[in-house]
Amino acid sequence: MGFLYPFMFGLTLFVLLFIVLYFFRKQYEEKIIPSNMLWTQLLNEREASRFFHKWQNHLLFWLQLFALIFLMIALTRPFFITERETGEELIFVVDPSATMSTRVDSVPIFERHREEMLAIVDRLYEQVVTIITAGVQPEIVIWKESDQKKLKETIENLAVTYEHENIENALRFAKAFSNQKTAIHLFSDGVKQEDVSKIINDRYVSVHNVDKEVINVSLQSFVVDREDDNMKGLVVVKNESNFEKEASFTVEGERGIVFQTSIAIQPDSTILIPIDSLPNEKFYRGVLKVEDDYVQDNFSTVILHSNRQPVYILGDISPFFVRGLESIGVDVYQIDAEETIPKGEGIVATDDVFHVTNEHSAFFFFERSTEGFIQNTGPIEQVNDPLLNYVDMGNVYISQSRSTSPFSELESIVSVDNRPLIQKGKVSGVPTIAFLFPFEQTDWPMHPNFPIFLYNSYEWLAQQSTPIAYFQPGEKKWLAVDQQSFEIFTLEGKRLYSINTEEEAFQAPYEPGLYQAVSDNKIYYFCVLLDDREKTVATEQSFILNDTLLDGTMEGGKTTNIELLSLMFAFIAFLLLIVEWEVYRKWLK
């Protein structure tokens, strides 16, 4: 404890003077005695008593003494000093991805981090905080706020958005908004130290991870397709834990459960479940029932469409690509001119960058020449992406590729020598996959994973180009549909919100699952898909980068409310004076 005005302790002299005056005052005590003998005995006992015994039972004296002491303490303006948080400014980078809903000791990871953030806010003293959510598009939730009440309200309103995290871009944001005296706190589940140090190596960064083992059994893939007149399915289940797990898998349709089986999965293994026959349904919802810590990856949905998207070949496209699409059951049509393609329908494979426009639903883009290409010397690298499921590009040979990409808005999923080979994303809002090397310069079509990649790519483009079918959590897109308004419901019939497609973009719910869009008494089923990268839970130890960088920024500490403590002591003194007056008043009576 400290005192703002310690010289006020000089008033102790007045307290001592009060005590001295108390002993010099005349004090009379009424006694009823039967004779002078008893009076003499009383005087003798009084003279024989010790000095302090004369005032030990005087209640008025003690009440007045303590009232003076508490009043003196109030005048000294006392305060407590507590440790302040490191850094002159703080930035919270919060991971809102689906794996943050994983339960550790029955408490979601996100809730654990919420409590940590609130505890840090309680230790702030004349410091500002910026909060950034690390979603697909990092977002600044609050900017350099010092009001603890507003900060706590903002933290309480944070929630899991189930999208895949973009820690890299969020950290770049934090670095751009920080200085050498800023403390950056990253709240996630499995961020590695080497990944952070590649982005930020000159800032104080405290990474709050989860270091406890998590049990997770995930539904990696659930596929249903028509073969002749029969519906068949295939399920892939992975056990990421070190324990054998028993589970049950069911397939639900519009009319209820249409398939059910029980399985036992060995530790750290994957099993396949073939489904030979399924009845015709509008949708199929696969549900994995198992005791684990992460439930969001235990279900998946397939929505069937009345027809599959054809692929129109426009230009000089490799025959390996055409034969590969035909081998997976895709209808392929060779087109001589772009005008003959039905507008807004089908997927276009072209070798001309000018054909990639928003007049068609999706695109494959290929290189048609090797002019200006660079020889590839390094190993081929790939990222963790759904298009590359069960595809290993490490053994593929590609001799030459473009030095730069004509599509700056696309994401590179396969690269060599820091140059993109395959890209995916949207160009002017149109789903596009670009191959930035000629197929004549590679042996990839000879590898067994080539048709697997074509199947993944075709399914991704078909899903992205279907107006109402598949969405990422919270995804927004403008719909090219005849209906003007939709009412959005859960599968159980709970109304969520309404959308006017002429005035605003269609926004999907955040939580993965199956939903209904109702327009003109017609129901359209659509589902919010969990990103495949969110089907694996990674945990790491928490750590601090550059932990000595901010030494000295904690000087001064945080003080309690000085006015509140002073008023508290003054109020106690006031209560003692009231009690003293009441005792004195009764004594007079």
pLDDT band at 52 (very low <50, low <70, confident <90, very high): very low
Checking if the pLDDT of 568 tops 70, the result is: yes
- Alpha carbon of residue 444 to chain centroid: 38
Give the three-state DSSP class for 383: coil
The three-state (H, E, C) secondary structure of 429-469, written as one string: CEEEEEECCCHHHECHHHCCCHHHHHHHHHHHHHHHHCCCC
pLDDT band at 344 (very low <50, low <70, confident <90, very high): low
CB–CB of 232/120 below 8 Å? Answer: no
Predicted local distance difference test score (pLDDT) of residue 34: 57
Predicted local distance difference test score (pLDDT) of residue 558: 47
Could you report how far apart the first and last alpha carbons of the chain are, in Å? 44
Query: Looking at residues 529-547, what average pLDDT do you find?
Result: 91
What is the DSSP pairing of strand 362-366 with strand 430-435? parallel
pLDDT band at 481 (very low <50, low <70, confident <90, very high): low
Q: Which of 312, 318, 315 is nearest to 446 (CA)?
A: 318
Predicted local distance difference test score (pLDDT) of residue 29: 59
Lowest mean pLDDT among 11-20, 141-150, 578-587: 11-20
Max distance between CA atoms of the chain, in angstroms, equals 139
Give the three-state DSSP class for 147: coil
CA dist., res. 15 & res. 72, Å (int) = 9
Lowest mean pLDDT among 40-44, 319-323, 419-423: 40-44
CA torsion through residues 5, 6, 9, 11, sign: negative
Residues contacting 99, CB < 8 A, separation 6+: 109, 189, 190, 294, 296, 534, 536, 537, 538
Checking if the pLDDT of 49 tops 60, the result is: no
Checking if the pLDDT of 48 tops 60, the result is: no
| 561 or 387, which is more confident | 387
Checking if the pLDDT of 5 tops 70, the result is: no
Residue type, 5: Y
pTM exceeding 0.75: no
Predicted local distance difference test score (pLDDT) of residue 557: 46
Predicted local distance difference test score (pLDDT) of residue 38: 56
User: pLDDT per residue over 108-156, tens digit each?
Assistant: 999 999 999 999 998 888 899 999 999 999 999 999 999 999 999 999 9
Helical (H) or strand (E) element with 506: strand 506-507
Residues contacting 419, CB < 8 A, separation 6+: 374, 401, 402, 403, 404, 436
CA dist., res. 334 & res. 216, Å (int) = 46
CB atoms within 10 A of CB 582: 11
Q: Would you call 377 exposed, middle or buried from its count of C-beta atoms within 10 A (0-12, 13-18, 19+)? A: exposed
pLDDT band at 6 (very low <50, low <70, confident <90, very high): low
Query: Looking at residues 355-376, what average pLDDT do you find?
Result: 74
What is the DSSP pairing of strand 470-471 with strand 522-528? parallel
Residues contacting 136, CB < 8 A, separation 6+: 163, 164, 166, 472
Q: Which residue in this structure is represented by tokens 């892939």?
A: 236
User: pLDDT per residue over 219-270, tens digit each?
Assistant: 999 988 877 778 899 999 999 999 999 999 999 998 899 999 999 999 999 9
Query: Looking at residues 481-487, what average pLDDT do you find?
Result: 76
Predicted local distance difference test score (pLDDT) of residue 56: 46
Checking if the pLDDT of 33 tops 70, the result is: no
Residue type, 136: V
Using alpha carbons only, what angle is made at residue 93 by residues 88 and 99, rounded to the nearest 5 degrees?
A: 155
pLDDT band at 55 (very low <50, low <70, confident <90, very high): very low
Lowest mean pLDDT among 151-165, 183-197, 234-248, 424-438: 424-438
Q: Which of 450, 435, 363 is nearest to 400 (CA)?
A: 435
- Alpha carbon of residue 106 to chain centroid: 18
Checking if the pLDDT of 79 tops 70, the result is: no
Predicted local distance difference test score (pLDDT) of residue 53: 47
* Residue 540 dihedral angles phi and psi, to the nearest 5°: -145, 165
What is the DSSP pairing of strand 89-94 with strand 128-133? parallel
pLDDT band at 168 (very low <50, low <70, confident <90, very high): very high
Predicted local distance difference test score (pLDDT) of residue 555: 47
Lowest mean pLDDT among 93-102, 113-122, 467-476: 467-476
Q: Which of 390, 517, 511 is nearest to 466 (CA)?
A: 517
Percent residues over pLDDT 90 in the chain: 40
- Alpha carbon of residue 119 to chain centroid: 18
Tell me the C-alpha to C-alpha distance, in Å, between residue 87 and each of 78, 148, 399, 552.
Answer: 26, 16, 51, 9
- Tokens coding 169: 């871009």
Q: Which of 227, 264, 235 is nearest to 251 (CA)?
A: 235
Tell me 295's DSSP state. Answer: -
pLDDT band at 341 (very low <50, low <70, confident <90, very high): low
pLDDT band at 569 (very low <50, low <70, confident <90, very high): confident
Tell me the C-alpha to C-alpha distance, in Å, between residue 410 and each of 105, 192, 263.
Answer: 40, 26, 40
Predicted local distance difference test score (pLDDT) of residue 265: 94
Query: Looking at residues 327-332, what average pLDDT do you find?
Result: 86
Average pLDDT score over the chain:
83
- Alpha carbon of residue 558 to chain centroid: 30
pLDDT band at 429 (very low <50, low <70, confident <90, very high): confident
Sequence length of the chain is 589
| 304 or 541, which is more confident | 541
* Residue 291 dihedral angles phi and psi, to the nearest 5°: -85, 105
